[in-house]
Structure 1
């Protein structure tokens, strides 16, 4: 689980990237999930465009994908979804350390 500060940091990184996938009329199927899984391993942070004909709202799509792939839904706004999962082999993004003091 990531903290609010880490989520904000990831949102700032995602601001400049373009969607590399579109969720369309075929919905969330195994081949689509496999492509996202591979992209998360390579990039760690990615953006997906949810098309109107997909039958999903952005938040629903984010929740469904995150449940299947064990990733974090960083942001779902409009028709865009931002996902994050740390790479197992080659982590690139270093998250801010959570504050332990209260």
Structure 2
């Protein structure tokens, strides 16, 4: 799903007060972590994922893998936190028109 700038701005504003729902551990991006992200996305639609990896290149690869595996849209990356959005079957978040 491709988000417009207006939609991204709206989602950023909604995500601002949120705390990270999923925190990657020492084992990195495992199947269990991906399953947890999937569950959180289907329940909340808009989540934050914290990736405490120090190396920037590896962190970027992890972000890309999360988006690829979950089919979610990346709204924003701030430092080590990635904001993801994927509409549920019964969407709770109303996106502004393009």
Aligned equivalents of 1:64 and 1:26: distance in 2?
A: 15
Distance in 2 (alpha carbons) for counterparts of 1:54 and 1:46: 23
Please name the residue that 2:6 is paired with. Answer: 5
Aligned mates of 2:62, 2:77 — CA distance in 1: 9
The alignment of Structure 1 onto Structure 2 pairs a total of residues equal to 96
1:22: how far off? 0.7
- Please list every run of 5 or more consecutive structure 2 residues that lacks an aligned counterpart in the other structure: none
Instruction: Work out whether residues 21 and 40 of structure 2, in 8 Å CA contact, stay in contact via their aligned partners in 1.
Output: no
Equivalence for 1:94: 94
Q: TM-score, normalised by structure 1?
A: 0.86
Q: Secondary structure at the match of 1:52?
A: coil
The runs of 5 or more residues in structure 1 that have no matched partner are: none
Contact kept, 8 Å, 1:50 with 1:80, in 2: the verdict is: yes
- For the aligned residue pairs, the C-alpha RMSD in angstroms reads 1.7
Distance change in 2, residues 1:24/1:53 (3 Å): farther
Residue equivalent to 1:51: 52
